[in-house]
Structure 1
Amino acid sequence: MKTAFLLATALAFAPMAARAADDHAPLRFVLIPKTVHPWFDKVNTGAQAAADLLGKTTGRKVEIEYRAPETADVSSQNDIIERAIATHPDGLILDLLDEKGNHATMLEAVDEKVPMTVFDSLPPEGMDITAVGADFCEQGTIAAQRLAGLIGEKGEVAIMIGVPTAPNHTRRAECERATFARYPQIKVVATGIDNDSIETAQKQASAIMQAHPDLAGWVACDAAGPVGIGQAIRESGRTGKVREVGLDNLNDMIALIRDGVADSSASSRPEMQGYWAVIAAWQRALGQKTPKYIDTGIDVLTKKNI
């Protein structure tokens, strides 16, 4: 009820020119994630929930079109963005694969006067776009600090990077490295790149553990990475010997925690990111100013609270 009241109040103060255009026609937003992935399904769930609430509260239908690239490929994502722009939606909701690689396509949206909101990412410098998500550095730091405690602040560790060009993935990796650097007896001996693929993460983790038999623990920078790492730990019979702190709240990640393969996970609340990305996009479509950043916070998932 409180949320509905706030939304109704925001609508009442929307600029008259924007509302006068046609306040009964449906609003259509195109949601474009990095790739097909269970984490983005959760984002879409939150987005659809926000659209339903806005429709019930305002009486104006809000439609979410979900268009995901089959793989984490910048050119494929740009193609989807360009085709979405051609349909003149009321807004684009994007998770950028590459801040620089996506920039030119985003400028096309600006030229066509299509508002944009980004989630789980950061907009290119100088662009007036609301970003929705958790503090990536804080999330990576939480994971690295928990792992350091689990291994007694000493030993060999590895980092699984997701998509190397993705600003959120690289920022988490930077902060994980910086955290480990504060412990003189911890050494980062390897990094894997999974490109947001659980299967790739599993193969990379298996190869790294074979090359480093004394490896003490793992952290990751994306949602797919820790699931693949957990699978590799279980398959190698090293549960309890190689410790893992994951990211996010995929069902497979929760199962790994419940089974004792992973200790915990720092979750960036994907459902909430989808929800507030739609709210911000809706406000932009009405001509309202929106915040520079909406921090959705971080949940630390453990066996005790999952």
Structure 2
Amino acid sequence: MKRWLVSMLMAVLLVPSLASAQKKEYRFVIIPKVVHPWFDLVHEGARAAAKMLEQQTGAKVTIEYRAPQKADVVEQNQILERAIATRPDGITIDLLDEKANKAVLEEAVKQGIIVTIFDSEPPRGMELTSVGNDFCEQAQIASRRLVEMLGGKGEVAIMMGVPTAPNHMIRADCHEKLFKQFPGIKLVAKGIDNDEIETAQKQAAAIMQAHPNLRGWVSCDAAGPIGVGIAIKEAGRVGKVLSVGLDDLPQMIELIRDGVADSSASTKPRTQGYWAVIAMWQGKLGGYMPKRIDTGIGVINKVMTTNYKGF
């Protein structure tokens, strides 16, 4: 990561067309799916990138964080439209609905605003830089681990997150496809939590009550496995119902440490926020913008939870 950053900074210093394009001030807008602790970490990474750019270039870099109160695409589009009206240098967004977000994103690009996507996939037909990881691989890591712990036999369930969100859809599909490879694994239920811990908890409790032989969970969003873990504890089924989580929020780390969840596959939110800002800055300078910036996947197990500091 550092090597790439150095190369981009050198490009600004050594290539006249980029150097002359530098501004004294930059303003970048971050639009997440919803108010959520995971996105707070994305914001943290974005601020770190802004600080670095200020130190290296002498320009002022402002990060505006505008989060919908609920995972509602209409509200997200309204926030996006208001952001476009202020003509920022760049906008990075985690899509709630590829199709519903597309027209507004096209308007942003039409107005010359640099647009990147984080923790998601760009709408079809739009050549936008995306920052994230292989969502299918991330799901498969979790599903394989659950199948391994179950010895290839048992009833399982998926907490799907926001069903229209591209990254959540990809994970759910890849979980299901992997489970189908094992005849002894039976997928009996799918919950929808809309990236809300309380909703995930209620969904998980209802599903476990309806399926008393349920033996394992995987999740497609950061809120899902926390809600699942709480429901497992409340039902007194720790050790009887297994869970492999997603991401590395403090509550998730605690669930792994306490043995409620086995492990988790993290999307590295701080790293996503950092590189989303770097990509927008580079694009504003007229530099090369890659199709994808892969942040990699971090797997957390119980041993790693001691003094865990996050990705």
Distance 2:55 2:4 in 1: 12
Corresponding residue number in structure 2 for 1:93 = 92
In the alignment, structure 1 segments of 5+ residues that lack a partner are none
Corresponding residue number in structure 1 for 2:257 = 258
Residue 201 of structure 1 contacts residue 228 of structure 1 at CA under 8 Å; is this kept in 2? Answer: yes
Report % sequence identity.
Answer: 61
Is 1:41 the equivalent of 2:54? no
Aligned-pair CA distance for 1:143: 0.4
Helix, strand or coil at the partner of 1:116: strand
Instruction: For 1:261, give the aligned amino acid.
Output: V
In the alignment, structure 2 segments of 5+ residues that lack a partner are 306-311
Helix, strand or coil at the partner of 1:100: helix
Distance 1:305 1:50 in 2: 26
Corresponding residue number in structure 1 for 2:238 = 239
Corresponding residue number in structure 1 for 2:299 = 300
Corresponding residue number in structure 1 for 2:193 = 194
Aligned-pair CA distance for 1:300: 0.8
Distance 2:108 2:158 in 1: 35
Residues 6-28 of structure 1, C-alpha deviation per residue, up to 9 Å, x if partnerless?
34303224562x6435x342110
Aligned-pair CA distance for 1:113: 1.1
Helix, strand or coil at the partner of 1:124: coil
Q: How does 1:73-112 map to 2 (within 5 A)?
A: 73-112=72-111
Distance 2:114 2:174 in 1: 31
Residues 90-141 of structure 1, C-alpha deviation per residue, up to 9 Å, x if partnerless?
0001100000000011111022111100000011112121000010000000
Residue 51 of structure 1 contacts residue 62 of structure 1 at CA under 8 Å; is this kept in 2? Answer: yes
Q: Structure 1 stretches (4+) deviating beyond 4 angstroms?
A: 1-4
Corresponding residue number in structure 1 for 2:127 = 128
Provide closer, same or farther for how the CA distance between residues 15 and 211 of structure 1 changes in structure 2, counting only shifts above 3 A: farther
Q: How large is the RMSD of aligned CA atoms in angstroms?
A: 1.3
Distance 2:30 2:166 in 1: 18
Distance 2:3 2:106 in 1: 37
Corresponding residue number in structure 2 for 1:10 = 11
Residue 24 of structure 2 contacts residue 58 of structure 2 at CA under 8 Å; is this kept in 1? Answer: no
TM-score (norm 2): 0.95
Distance 2:134 2:91 in 1: 22
Is 1:222 the equivalent of 2:228? no
Helix, strand or coil at the partner of 2:20: helix
Distance 1:15 1:229 in 2: 54
Residue 98 of structure 2 contacts residue 165 of structure 2 at CA under 8 Å; is this kept in 1? Answer: yes
Residue 154 of structure 2 contacts residue 184 of structure 2 at CA under 8 Å; is this kept in 1? Answer: yes
Residues 22-54 of structure 1, C-alpha deviation per residue, up to 9 Å, x if partnerless?
x34211000000000000000010110011001
Q: How does 1:151-162 map to 2 (within 5 A)?
A: 151-162=150-161
Distance 1:109 1:242 in 2: 46
Residue 42 of structure 2 contacts residue 270 of structure 2 at CA under 8 Å; is this kept in 1? Answer: yes
Distance 1:212 1:253 in 2: 24
Corresponding residue number in structure 1 for 2:68 = 69
Residue 14 of structure 1 contacts residue 286 of structure 1 at CA under 8 Å; is this kept in 2? Answer: no
Provide closer, same or farther for how the CA distance between residues 269 and 280 of structure 1 changes in structure 2, counting only shifts above 3 A: same
Count of aligned pairs between the two proteins: 304
Q: How does 1:51-62 map to 2 (within 5 A)?
A: 51-62=50-61
Residue 47 of structure 1 contacts residue 275 of structure 1 at CA under 8 Å; is this kept in 2? Answer: yes
Helix, strand or coil at the partner of 2:98: coil
